[in-house]
Chain A
């Protein structure tokens, strides 16, 4: 592996000074589960890495008046096991974290890493999109907040500017009575990237239910499916669910890759969307 230097700042000032060094490629390091393979393949060639895990707030997981705060360096396994995240109303995030990677990777990989890598297949992204989370960004110029839907710009591209760090996400408490399901289709039941991933969230409103749907691995970024959401507001009989699958497909632009062809993905968008809706309907019935 090509050598690089390792820094472990404990203040943001120090971290930003390192990350904005002129004429050097400096990269933030969190779980390293993506960074180390990328450096090993020489696709990334950092001169230095900046370990962000010791910066204030990065490992925090707590309820605030604005909702659930998850620091960027909170690990997937912590999300899976945390009673706070597992309990309603945020358990959709725990479902996404559980679907990601395997046991060993979940003990290193972080929420911030899963988002900043900006893979269209990021398993926590559909959950955060339907939970309408905010990305909390801090840089040398100060802090800003961005809706999760504006954070992803393309494969491996985020809205982060040079020197900026994702410090965490803020997940507002979802509407009362919300239930959600994440369904992931992959070549193995676990331990692989998604061919299609669908998160569905439903909550009571005006005597019926409102729905939010998000999909991963079927577009350059994780996406919401607004037309399918609107259709479901009319009800969730079999015909409407089937129609929602078709409408979800209209939001997608999948590609062929080593995991699946675009044609297969399109077919599976309909199936997995239907499955996510039906599983959510079952939970509504049980609620």
Chain B
């Protein structure tokens, strides 16, 4: 079954025709060319495909594209503004919180949602928020440091 829908992504409207069973992650990457969102496990375990839906982190591999209509979608492509990296992106670079980079878009989006809801999280709160984002390179410590630094500096998240 086909559905003619309009997705609102990073503030822009994208009219798109999707099949019922297409996931949001698939449509973002394959139909809209927004390949910043990664696909890892396709099972809701790894968090590589995390995007924000109405400001909250979700696994875009577990959302049907047709379900996302009418909701505000944010992807990693929407983080930098006017050529300026987002404070979280800068902090990830400064702390070497990126190695292979595959988990980074998902980490950034989950961290953004956390800081919007809770601008000054404790380390434990950061760790709990990031439970659903797996990283096999960094050992997590640098990622946690980067998120905490943005929180401490009160960087607009």
Residue numbers of A with Cβ under 8 A of B are 1-6, 8, 29, 31-33, 36-37, 39-40, 48-49, 51, 77, 101-105, 107-108, 188, 190-191
Closest to A2 in B: B21
Given that A5-B1, A6-B66, A102-B132 are contacting pairs, would A37 and B21 also be in contact in the complex, using a CB cutoff of 8 Å? no
Decide if the interface of chain B is mainly helix, strand, loop or mixed: mixed
Is there contact, CB below 8 Å, between B43 and A40? yes
Chain A residue numbers with a CB within 8 Å of B131 are 102-103, 188, 190-191
Bound together, the chains give a CA A108 to CA B21 distance in angstroms of 17
Chain B residue numbers with a CB within 8 Å of A39 are 21
**Residue B85 CB within 8 A of the other chain:** no
Interface size class of B (residues with CB under 8 A): 20 to 34
Is there contact, CB below 8 Å, between A107 and B20? no
Query: Could you name 24 residue pairs across A and B whose Cβ atoms are closer than 8 Å?
Result: A1-B23, A4-B20, A5-B1, A6-B64, A6-B66, A8-B66, A32-B62, A33-B44, A36-B23, A36-B61, A36-B62, A40-B43, A102-B47, A102-B132, A103-B110, A103-B130, A103-B131, A104-B50, A104-B57, A104-B58, A104-B132, A107-B53, A107-B57, A188-B131
Chain B residue numbers with a CB within 8 Å of A40 are 42-43
A48 to chain B, nearest CB (A): 8
Interface residues as binary, B108-132 with A (CB distance below 8 Å gives 1, 0 otherwise)? 0010010000000000000011111
A164 to chain B, nearest CB (A): 23
Chain A residue numbers with a CB within 8 Å of B43 are 37, 40
Chain A residue numbers with a CB within 8 Å of B59 are 33, 104-105, 108
Is there contact, CB below 8 Å, between A191 and B66? no
Given that A32-B67, A36-B62 are contacting pairs, would A107 and B56 also be in contact in the complex, using a CB cutoff of 8 Å? yes
Chain B residue numbers with a CB within 8 Å of A77 are 56
Is there contact, CB below 8 Å, between A6 and B132? no
**Residue B90 CB within 8 A of the other chain:** no
